[in-house]
Amino acid sequence: MVEENGKQDETASETSKKKAPAVSSEKIAVVLRNVGNAPILQKQKYNVDKNKTVKWMSNWIKGKLKLQENEQVILYIAQQFAPPIDQHVGNLFDCFGTNDKLVVQYATQPAWG
C-alpha cells in the first residue's frame, strides 16, 4: 500500500506541474483594435510585460504594421485619450483594464480629441 500511495502522489504532482497559468503575473493581456484607416493586425491579442511603456508599445505596433520611419502610430485608451508616452502599460491596465485585459486602439492619424 505504501507503493500505491507513493505512485498516486507522483501522479498528482506531475498533474500539478503541467497546470501553468495562461498569463504570468508580470504580463497582461492586451487587445489591439485599429481605428480609422489604420491597417488591421492579423493577431490582435498579445501578452505584454507590465513594465513596458506606451512609447515602446507604439514602436512595437509600428514594426508589426511595417510602417515607414516617418509614419506615426497613435494609441488611445477607452476610445478617448492618448496616454503619455512614458506611462507604463501596467498602470493603464490597473486603471482601465476590463475582463482581465487592456483594450488599446491604434491609429495612424488623430482619431479622437
Identify the band that residue 25 occupies on the pLDDT scale cut at 50, 70 and 90. Answer: low
Residue 68: give the domain boundaries.
Answer: 21-107
**E-assigned strand segments in the chain:** 27-34, 45-49, 74-77, 101-107
pTM value?
0.74
CATH number, position 65: 3.10.20.90
Q: Is residue 30 part of a domain?
A: yes
C-alpha distance across the termini of the chain, in Å:
72
53 or 24: which leads in pLDDT: 53
pLDDT attached to residue 80: 85
Contact 80, 112 (CB under 8 A): yes
Work out the pLDDT band at 113, boundaries 50, 70, 90.
Answer: low
11 part of a folded domain = no
Q: Which of 88, 78, 42 is nearest to 61 (CA)?
A: 42
Gyration radius (Cα) of the chain, Å: 20
Confirm whether 16 is domain-assigned. Answer: no
Q: Inform me whether the pLDDT recorded for 23 exceeds 80.
A: no
Q: pLDDT tens, 44-89? A: 999 999 999 999 999 999 999 999 989 999 999 988 899 999 999 9
Could you tell me if residue 93 is inside a domain? yes
Query: Residue 111: pLDDT band by 50, 70, 90 thresholds?
Result: confident
Q: How many domains does the chain have?
A: 1
Residue 2 in any domain: the answer is: no
Assigned domain for 55 exists: yes
